[in-house]
Structure 1
């Protein structure tokens, strides 16, 4: 049996679309109309003060390669709180059927990058955050998930095939299944088998909450192999005061001379839990908070037809530019209006030729710098 996956060919041909766009093409062709339009992709028309991270741009722009249109967009990793994140100009029939895929590429990715930034900001400068959410999304979407999480600032991720797609090495050590395979009372055998079998460059992180108390298994693991860290992934129903458990593990490891063994925690963590633990642990595995983030509600709207204002009710007509103001704000203005600040919408497609660049490291650095500039997470 084949998997239920819409392939690249269908996306490029514009068949990964809502049926009403194909009906629109039929109606326009019948009427002999194909107006020159300007379209905005927006979530909010005016600034809201709720910052989000633009991600998914690389795939979105790939839709337009070879089409006779011009596209401007915010650089990937830019934080925005209103106004257009993308502007498309050209004959409407040239790109109408791609709207569904375009918004799909941007909406989920931007939400996941924003959630990743929230987790990273909560962890602070001393602790690392890894993306563990691939099991919560369709396998076909895992590379986009992990790329978006990296844009948001996570230190790494776990999914092997996603790493092959985005050319990054996945991380991860052991599940409970490894320990269970050796049986209760034989945890040391599991940890030692891992240590002996896995490549030396893989960090030695032992899962220490399978059968007995976390302190007991942490001490036993630290004495069984040369550990980098222990991982606490205690089931929520048995967790109790997770901060107290982590502090107790830290104390008991230290008192036995294992100060160099770090503590890594995972399992249902979001920013609030991370803030409670960040002074006790060295790293966090964050899954569903990133992978299941509510999509950013982008829409694509015509704002000009044949150079005339044309937006529908609730949308803003006219060709626009957005700016990062000196105080870190996000200003929206009609193009050509004098605004003090750095213009953010830049060409990514010119006459069907992709002219933008989509470097992952640059997007990650931009996100971190922009977050500092706008005060993302201040006061939390």
Structure 2
């Protein structure tokens, strides 16, 4: 991905507050022993998936590695990776980056897990747009990161303002149930939305708050006429959840009332298997908005190892000494 804003590196990362204590102790011991070897250090994926967080790591290492006597090789952000594939290689004096292993692995694991989960949803959707609503399911300090990662994974849009800033896209969203509940009626909320929102904001109305979904959809369609762009359904599990049959019923009843040009969007706690049911049924879904599945992430882990010291191959037991051949790595600097 290239259309993302350069992210500010948190000072707590630079000074090592986010690093595990044994990395601090290691550097202290080596400094007192007068040891600072030139090493080759590789991070590889344990599982397959979509790699994300590369750009943040490049920015970090560009700040902490010396201007000379350094090399950084990496895969492109958003690349699909296979099991045991090298995603990043550093060649530099160990003391210049050894403190940051926690941050390197944590960034890759979190961002790649979110990106991979988003990618799973996008593949299941078979061309139907998927929007990330994952920011509502994570700590606010990482809301931008989860949305950025979901976008790298293939989501067409994200819902948070900070996610929109990081991806340089317009945040996507309709209206919450709280607006409808406070307004007291779905049609009233829809008309207020139409009156007060900028003209470039799509008129997509949430229609499952008070009444039968099809009934509310028809009422909104008749009230808003040609200004209605679409409806969003988020039927709770207590009411049976969102199903392909429900979407088909709403679509047919809208057509019977000659309400045309109204897209149907579904949202909620869905996974790729749920999405695939709508696709296989050929339901009239114009888009999916996914939260928890993306926020939970898909399993993809990484490991980091020194593979050479002063040009000599070395490795811990169980690993193969020396740099691993990888033709997909690009020289960054």
The match for 2:25 is 23
Shift of 1:273: 0.7
Shift of 1:16: 2.0
The match for 2:100 is 98
How far apart are the structure 2 equivalents of 1:43 and 1:182?
50
The match for 2:274 is 273
Shift of 1:165: 3.8
TM-score (norm 1): 0.80
Give SS of 2:317's match. Answer: coil
Q: Alpha-carbon deviations, 1:317-336, whole Å to 9, x = none? A: 211232xxxxxxxxxxxxxx
Shift of 1:161: 2.5
Alignment of 1:161-176 (within 5 A): 161-176=162-177
The match for 1:132 is 133
The 8 Å contact of residues 55 and 148 in structure 1, kept in 2 or not, is answered as: yes
1:251 and 2:255 correspond: no
The match for 1:55 is 52
How far apart are the structure 2 equivalents of 1:268 and 1:165?
24
How far apart are the structure 1 equivalents of 2:331 and 2:18?
25
Q: Where in structure 1 are there 5+ consecutive unaligned residues?
A: 1-6, 45-49, 323-342, 351-380
Q: Where in structure 2 are there 5+ consecutive unaligned residues?
A: 1-8
Q: Alpha-carbon deviations, 1:297-338, whole Å to 9, x = none? A: 21211111122221112222211232xxxxxxxxxxxxxxxx
The 8 Å contact of residues 230 and 264 in structure 2, kept in 1 or not, is answered as: yes
How far apart are the structure 1 equivalents of 2:322 and 2:203?
57
TM-score (norm 2): 0.90
Q: Alpha-carbon deviations, 1:273-303, whole Å to 9, x = none? A: 1111132111100111112104532121111
Greater helix content: 2
The match for 1:363 is none
The match for 1:310 is 314
Shift of 1:221: 1.0
Aligned with residue 296 of structure 2, among 292, 304, 308: 292
The 8 Å contact of residues 173 and 204 in structure 1, kept in 2 or not, is answered as: yes
Relative to structure 1, the CA distance from residue 235 to residue 187 in structure 2 (aligned partners, 3 Å threshold; closer, same or farther) is same
How far apart are the structure 2 equivalents of 1:270 and 1:216?
27
The 8 Å contact of residues 133 and 286 in structure 1, kept in 2 or not, is answered as: yes
Shift of 1:240: 5.1
The match for 1:234 is 235
Give SS of 2:325's match. Answer: strand
The 8 Å contact of residues 53 and 107 in structure 2, kept in 1 or not, is answered as: yes
How far apart are the structure 1 equivalents of 2:308 and 2:39?
5
Aligned with residue 319 of structure 1, among 311, 316, 323: 323
Give SS of 1:174's match. Answer: coil
The match for 1:201 is 200
Relative to structure 1, the CA distance from residue 162 to residue 233 in structure 2 (aligned partners, 3 Å threshold; closer, same or farther) is same
The match for 2:42 is 40
How far apart are the structure 1 equivalents of 2:182 and 2:262?
25
Give SS of 1:321's match. Answer: coil
Runs of 4+ in structure 1 deviating by more than 6 angstroms, as ranges, are none
Shift of 1:171: 1.3
Give SS of 1:64's match. Answer: helix
